[in-house]
Amino acid sequence: MRGWASLPLSRSRTARTSIFFVVLALVCLAFSDIAVTTANPWQDLMRFFWGIVTPDFFSSAGLATAVLRTLAFAFVGVTIGSIAGFLLALVYRFRIVRTFSAFIRAIHEIFWALIFLQFFGFHPLTGVLAIAIPYSGIFAKVYSEILDEVDPEPRNLLHSRVGALSAFAYARIPDCWEQLRTYTSYRLECGFRSSAILGFVGLPTLGFYLESAFSQGHYSEAGAVLLLFYALIATIPLWVRPRMLPFYVLAAPFFLGDGMPIVWGNVKRFFTEDIVPAPLREGATGESFWPWLSELLVDQALPGIWNTLLLTQMALVATGVLALLAFPLISRHFGNRLSRTGGHVLLVVARSTPEYILAYILLQLWGPSMLPAVVALALHNGGIIGHLIGRQSSFITLRPDAPRGITRYGYELVPRVYPSFLAFLFYRWEIIMRETAILGILGIYTLGFYVDSAIQNIQFDKAMILILVTALLNIGIDILSRRIRKRLALQTMPTC
Amino acid sequence: MLKKFIGLATLAAAMQSYALSAAADTFVFTAIPDQDETQLVERFGAVEAYLEEQLDVDVRYVPVKSYAAAVSAFRNNQVQLAWFGGLSGVQARRLVPGSEAIAQGAEDPEFQSYVIANTSTGLEPMDELSDDLRDMTFTFGSKGSTSGRLMPEFYLREAYGEAPDEVFSRVGFSGNHTRTVRLVEAGTYQLGAVNFKVWESGVEDGSIDTDKVQVIWETPYYPDYQWTIRGDVNERFGEGFKEKVTQALLNMDDPDLLERFPRSGFIPASNEDYTPIEETAESLGLLN
């Protein structure tokens, strides 16, 4: 009898890893809460699509301002993030810098915003820092990777008396300038998305209006906000030109708005009182610290971690499946020009809608369970990976007599793109987990749910510990994903 | 690189301009987002105009996205006055020594929550919470709500001797009362807990379909909403300012304005009025 192990498939590491993750996701599925709980999900979905077809751009006078604020927060946040990230990248060889960068990027923009809201309140600084801080961590990592890739030869040819700074500026930067530029502009697009969703926690960006319109069932208003957002993202190549960039960066700080004044005493209070665990504050004896901590970890952190992991694993595999199904839509080996254009539009919409917004919409339409979250994560991330490998597959040249249709897909293309597909998927593993945690704010019982509950109860000490747990979990997944990619010899470029 | 440095310099300049614009003394207030935002913006926009006329200072209403954001803004002195629920008011006054509850709606000392059910459950109005509710799905309003979470949870625990997530098969937080009604009406949740004022005004103006959702249980009375003001407003806006705000709120008699709350009028309030809420919140671990 032929056992499992002797199947040719299972002899490949890649195949074994894939099967392992699929099985793991199925096990997670058995433990998770997947349901459509609304009575008329399709009716609501149709009303939503009808709202998109009949957008109402004039319902809210603030919409134009919201567009401006969304852009301003993104420009300022990404600019500061890229400068700080670049400086960090220069000293990235130090473990402490790497750890610090990994830590700040492990905390989601929305968590950062929730933290700053507690002491800066509705001041523009809250939005700017919420983007700038995690982005510097990401920039630090990617910039340092780009700098490491630079050919050392030009540097070696320089005279030994050439200073470090000149050598850096003339022998290293020119070689990777194009990559730095491409990545930074790509990150700017991510910045627009981050900026938009900050509105969900009360900052004056597009998400603010989207949340209001949606929660009240005003689908035409919600449709208008979404369409504006797509228009903004889709036209980036037209209005974000290298020559215009300095102008935008200079102008952006003036369009952040006033917000409300910062009271600096609040900052001090937050760090010296609010986030100090209650049993350790002045007047407390400190004896109850361990019971306090273990109760927090057992009652909130553990269920939060469990649900976060369940959702992450299911979303990861769903993302993979969707990406593999979606990439032929834009691959030149399938369909015709018209069908590929349609495919491009679909994938652009999927990847430019932040997971948070997708999950929010689907939760409203289908009711609370993990299902809307899995679908949202899979749509967004599957859209990104599908786009990347679809584009890659178009560069593959097939034999003139190559099979067509499903055979072409299964035997010619998938095997060729599979390694880079897996590389992208594992790269996004950590990103999916970051989002999974944050979706808790929408009512799914992942870590974000408990963080939000602690904040709603004005217990920032608990919130900070839970955010810390989230960050550590995320760093853990990051390390694991890097190990797996190394083991399978997968290489990839960064995506956001 | 250069452009980035210029950018940073501009940022610093821009930051300074915020500091200047903030110097003008505007009396800012907020409210917990317990209902649909459109209703809140209309209501508090009208209050803003009314107070500006009465107080002779610039008044601004700032909408927020969560109960905690309202409390934090009050605590951080970014707003000086707030329309809080029972629990958020207690949280805020604990965090800001010297702050006071100054006015409440005439109905607020005897406030109630209703447990509502989708008619497909077949549940009928009951005097005591029955075991028929077990294993159904249930939604509260906001996590920080008094009438949408704190009091209903207290009475549920009292009736069943268990936490809500053990009694019901699924427990959610809709975010606000309007949404709670909508979700139970649509059957997304079978049961929900809602502020009785929001329920009654929705039934009155026809926005609630009572063929699909009905009240099955009413909580006992408890104190709820109130206007709370910071203790340091006199130092900032002049002697007697607190008294002036209190009088303005108590004298609010424009029927249109009152209808928007909806309250029949405003009466004096004190911090002690909310002791029962404080004790309940402590017993549920919602206050440190």
Which residues touch B12 (CB under 8 Å, ≥6 apart)?
none
Question: Secondary structure of chain A: what % helix, strand, coil (to 5)?
Answer: 75, 0, 25
Kindly report the backbone phi and psi dihedral angles of residue A444, in degrees, each rounded to the nearest multiple of 5, phi listed first. Answer: -85, 140
Pairing of strands B113-118, B226-229: unpaired
B256 in a domain, yes or no?
yes
Question: Given CA atoms B188, B191, B195, B196 in this order, what sign does their dihedral have?
Answer: positive
User: What is the domain count for chain B?
Assistant: 2
Chain B: nearest CA to A20, how far in angstroms? 31
A154 contacts chain B (CB < 8 A) = no
B9 in a domain, yes or no?
no
Which residues touch A367 (CB under 8 Å, ≥6 apart)?
A35, A36, A37, A38, A41, B183, B188, B189
A474 sits in which H/E element: helix A460-487
CB B82 within 8 A of CB B27: no
Residue that is last in its domain, among B164, B196, B218: B218
Contact A121 B6 (CB under 8 A): no
Q: Tell me, what's the pLDDT at B263?
A: 94
Using the predicted structure, report yes or no on whether residue B2 has a pLDDT greater than 80.
no
Residue of B nearest to A367 (CA): B188
B41 in a domain, yes or no?
yes
Residue that is last in its domain, among B197, B218, B239: B218
pLDDT tens, residue by residue, A327-361: 999 999 998 999 999 999 999 899 989 999 999 88
B69 contacts chain A (CB < 8 A) = yes
pLDDT band at A10 (very low <50, low <70, confident <90, very high): low
Q: Per-residue pLDDT averaged across A396-409, rounded?
A: 89
Task: Report the distance separating Cα B44 and Cα B61, nearest Å.
Answer: 7
Q: Tell me, what's the pLDDT at B7?
A: 46
Using the predicted structure, report yes or no on whether residue B17 has a pLDDT greater than 50.
no
Is the pLDDT higher at A298 or at A153? A298
Contact B4 A453 (CB under 8 A): no
Question: Which residues are registered as beta bridge partners of B218?
Answer: B114
Chain A: nearest CA to B13, how far in angstroms? 9
DSSP structure string for A277-302: -GGGSTT--STTHHHHHHHHIIIIIH
B8 in a domain, yes or no?
no
Topology (CATH) of A58-274: MetI-like fold (1.10.3720)
Q: Are residues B204 and B122 in the same domain?
A: yes
Chain B: nearest CA to A44, how far in angstroms? 10
DSSP state of A408: I
B64 contacts chain A (CB < 8 A) = yes
Q: Are residues B29 and B50 in the same domain?
A: yes
Using the predicted structure, report yes or no on whether residue A170 has a pLDDT greater than 90.
no
DSSP structure string for B18-74: HHHHHHS-EEEEEE---S-HHHHHHHHHHHHHHHHHHHSSEEEE---SSHHHHHHHH
Task: Report the distance separating Cα B18 and Cα A228, nearest Å.
Answer: 28
Query: Chain A contacts of B62, Cβ < 8 Å?
Result: 122, 260
Task: Report the distance separating Cα A222 and Cα B153, nearest Å.
Answer: 33
B243 in a domain, yes or no?
yes
Q: Nearest CA to A135 among A92, A114, A106, A95? A: A106
Residue that is last in its domain, among B193, B218, B243: B218
Choose the closest CB to A216 out of B7, B36, B144: B36
Using the predicted structure, report yes or no on whether residue A261 has a pLDDT greater than 70.
yes
Q: Tell me, what's the pLDDT at B15?
A: 42
B92 in a domain, yes or no?
yes
pLDDT tens, residue by residue, B205-226: 999 999 999 999 999 999 999 9
Choose the closest CB to B68 out of A200, A254, A456: A456
pLDDT tens, residue by residue, B126-152: 999 999 999 999 999 999 899 999 999
Question: What is residue A152's three-state secondary structure?
Answer: coil
Choose the closest CB to A83 out of B4, B28, B62: B4
Contact B18 A253 (CB under 8 A): no
Using the predicted structure, report yes or no on whether residue B21 has a pLDDT greater than 50.
no
Residue A463 burial class via C-beta count within 10 angstroms: exposed 0-12, middle 13-18, buried 19 and up: buried
A254-268, B7-21, B134-148, B259-273: least confident range: B7-21
Q: Are residues B101 and B122 in the same domain?
A: no
Contact B6 A215 (CB under 8 A): no
Pairing of strands B26-31, B81-84: parallel
CB A350 within 8 A of CB A379: yes
Q: Are residues B84 and B213 in the same domain?
A: no
CB A121 within 8 A of CB B30: no
- Rounded to the nearest integer, the mean pLDDT of chain A is 90
Using the predicted structure, report yes or no on whether residue B12 has a pLDDT greater than 80.
no
Using the predicted structure, report yes or no on whether residue A7 has a pLDDT greater than 60.
no
pLDDT band at A230 (very low <50, low <70, confident <90, very high): very high
Kindly report the backbone phi and psi dihedral angles of residue A69, in degrees, each rounded to the nearest multiple of 5, phi listed first. Answer: -65, -40
Is the pLDDT higher at A212 or at A328? A328
Domain ranges in chain A are 15-54+290-496, 58-274
Q: Find out whether the peptide bond into B262 is cis, omega within 30 degrees of 0.
A: yes
Domain that holds residue B139: 112-218
Is the pLDDT higher at A105 or at A491? A105
A278 contacts chain B (CB < 8 A) = yes
B7 in a domain, yes or no?
no
CATH number, position B132? 3.40.190.10
B78 contacts chain A (CB < 8 A) = yes
Task: Report the distance separating Cα A42 and Cα A358, nearest Å.
Answer: 16
Q: Tell me, what's the pLDDT at A426?
A: 93
B13 in a domain, yes or no?
no
Query: Chain A contacts of B19, Cβ < 8 Å?
Result: 261
In CATH, the number for domain A15-54+290-496 is: 1.10.3720.10
Q: Which of A80, A177, A210, A260 to mutate to probe the B interface, most B CBs <10 Å? A: A260
Q: Whole-angstrom distance between the N-terminal and C-terminal Cα of chain A? A: 47
Using the predicted structure, report yes or no on whether residue A78 has a pLDDT greater than 70.
yes
Query: Chain B contacts of A256, Cβ < 8 Å?
Result: 14
CB A331 within 8 A of CB A393: yes
Q: Tell me, what's the pLDDT at B271?
A: 96
Using the predicted structure, report yes or no on whether residue A113 has a pLDDT greater than 80.
yes
Q: Per-residue pLDDT averaged across B236-251, rounded?
A: 95
Residue position matching structure tokens 């915020």: B18
Q: Tell me, what's the pLDDT at A295?
A: 93
Q: Are residues B122 and B209 in the same domain?
A: yes
Kindly report the backbone phi and psi dihedral angles of residue B175, in degrees, each rounded to the nearest multiple of 5, phi listed first. Answer: 115, -50
Question: What is residue A168's three-state secondary structure?
Answer: helix
pLDDT band at A399 (very low <50, low <70, confident <90, very high): confident
Contact B186 A38 (CB under 8 A): yes
pLDDT band at B4 (very low <50, low <70, confident <90, very high): very low
Q: Tell me, what's the pLDDT at A8?
A: 55
Query: Chain B contacts of A459, Cβ < 8 Å?
Result: 288
pTM here is 0.88
pLDDT band at A99 (very low <50, low <70, confident <90, very high): very high
Q: Are residues B207 and B231 in the same domain?
A: no
